[in-house]
Structure 1
Amino acid sequence: MVVYLTTFVVFLLVIVAMAVGYIFQRKTVSGSCGGLDGIGIAKECDCPEPCDARKKREAREAKQAEWQKNQII
């Protein structure tokens, strides 16, 4: 039980230290150093042509958006 409490206290201290550092630096939280774009991948699926399932999903979404647009008018 002592190990669990010690671990909890250590994690709590680290979180408090990070919060204090964030408050004093007044920086916004930023992402990683480029993510996938950093290794040359512009999007999740870097395929030249979308797969059939994606084409169907996009067609269904476009049809639904068109239907909703017609309902507003």
Structure 2
Amino acid sequence: MMETFLLAFGLMLLSVLGLALGVIFGRAPLKGSCGGLACATGLSCSGCRKGGKS
């Protein structure tokens, strides 16, 4: 049980470290999607300005 926790924690730590290194070394900043499928072309979208009819 403890081995599983340590393995999961290590993988999460490695993932966050990889994302942080990418940002530190000048890659594009992390950003989320703007509403996902709710902002698909042709659908109404109140969450963002792009796509859809808002």
Structure 1: unaligned runs, 5 residues or longer:
45-73
Looking at structure 2, the residues matched to 21 and 37 of structure 1 have their Cα atoms a distance apart, in angstroms, of 28
Structure 2 counterparts to residues 19-58 of structure 1, below 5 A:
19-32=20-33, 35=36, 36-39=38-41, 40-43=43-46
Query: Normalized per residue, which structure has more helix?
Result: 1
Which of structures 1 and 2 has the bigger CA Rg? 1
Q: Which sits farther off after the overlay, 35-44 or 8-17?
A: 35-44
Per-residue CA distance 1:14-73 (angstroms, 9 max, x = gap): 1101110122234233221663222422226xxxxxxxxxxxxxxxxxxxxxxxxxxxxx
Structure 2: unaligned runs, 5 residues or longer:
48-54
Looking at structure 1, the residues matched to 7 and 30 of structure 2 have their Cα atoms a distance apart, in angstroms, of 29
Aligned residues: 44
Aligned CA-pair RMSD: 2.3
Aligned partner of 2:16 in structure 1 is: 15
Looking at structure 2, the residues matched to 3 and 15 of structure 1 have their Cα atoms a distance apart, in angstroms, of 18
The alignment-based identity, stated in percent, is: 34
Q: TM-score, normalized by length of structure 2?
A: 0.56
Q: Which has the higher contact order (CA 8 A, sep 6+)?
A: 2
